[in-house]
Structure 1
């Protein structure tokens, strides 16, 4: 098994491409070793000293590290954990766990607001999320406030905590949403 690595805009996050599907759809973000207990692979990765975050995309895994640890010290044990996981045939998730699919909210919108939210989600899914995935992250719809026109988004993976994430959010995502969905006045990031 050959695993490629790619740098991301976030210097504390590296993208690992094992050349196979990780998740059929959606993504999963693990921010702690406790959250990682849902996945044998995430648990193994958090077992590498210096790993602070793990994110699964459709065909990649991004790993975040502590700023005091250098990538040359972490890369080999991370590669070994990913390789061992896939060669062992273990499942990605424990039997009771799974992915969080698209990560869209469960709020129900009515009338014109429902149409606006559908347009926002469509743009996110078809144009924005694929571009963000190239950098090892994901961006998910959180909510839309029809009274103010504010769209709240959740950035995950390499995008979470990235020094350029606010610029991406404002210059890229906000401009695109405002252009195609005139009801959108501003985009904000949820934590």
Structure 2
């Protein structure tokens, strides 16, 4: 059973990050945007069964839950804690090859995408994870890079402004013509 060490606010007022004593996964990231996606995942399914939960994102010792903005955190936290505490370590999970990069983007032969993903892995994703979220590259359509924010970043006001601008500035070093679009 997972023991909650801390509960941290994220830059997103509608998301909280639970820090656990022991890892749930060994580096495998899971991101769910609704209960249908969470089917077959005991932790995510239990969290989506709680009213107002709209996103579940977890990796290693971190579980981020995003609500719809309608719940009072003090009340919601009391409901979220038991399923997180009851979660069993999932050390046998296989990596989701599409958690950070869509299948379409993985199959692209555009060398810019390889460079962009390397840059995101080194310079962006670790910081987003520290804030309870992540970033998935959906694809490069001409000079339009489509990305999707995960976890706390998905509905965070700063993700779609400041972070998106910073990512676009970095990507422009690879190709000045690329425009980054959050979908």
TM-score interval (norm. to shorter) = 0.7 to 0.9
Q: Which runs of 5+ in 1 are unaligned?
A: none
List structure 1 segments (4+ residues) > 4 angstroms apart after TM superposition. none
Give TM-score, length-normalised by structure 1.
0.82
Report the alpha carbon displacement of residue 99 of structure 1 after superposing the two structures with TM.
4.6
SS state of the match for residue 147, structure 2? Answer: strand
- The answer to whether the 8 A contact 1:15-1:62 is kept is yes
| Aligned Cα root-mean-square deviation (Å) | 2.2
Q: Does 1:106 align with 2:103?
A: yes
- The 1-side partners of 2:80 and 2:170 are apart by 36
Listed as ranges, the matches of 1:1-191 within 5 Å are 1-86=3-88, 91=90, 99-101=95-97, 102-107=99-104, 108-110=107-109, 113=110, 115-145=111-141, 147=142, 149-179=143-173, 181-190=174-183
Task: Deviation per CA, 1:18-50: give whole Å up to 9, x if none.
Answer: 132233334222222222222111122122233
Give TM-score, length-normalised by structure 2.
0.85
Aligned residues: 178
Larger Rg: 1
Between 70-79 and 50-59, the greater mean CA deviation after superposition: 50-59
Report the alpha carbon displacement of residue 153 of structure 1 after superposing the two structures with TM.
0.9
Report the alpha carbon displacement of residue 183 of structure 1 after superposing the two structures with TM.
4.8
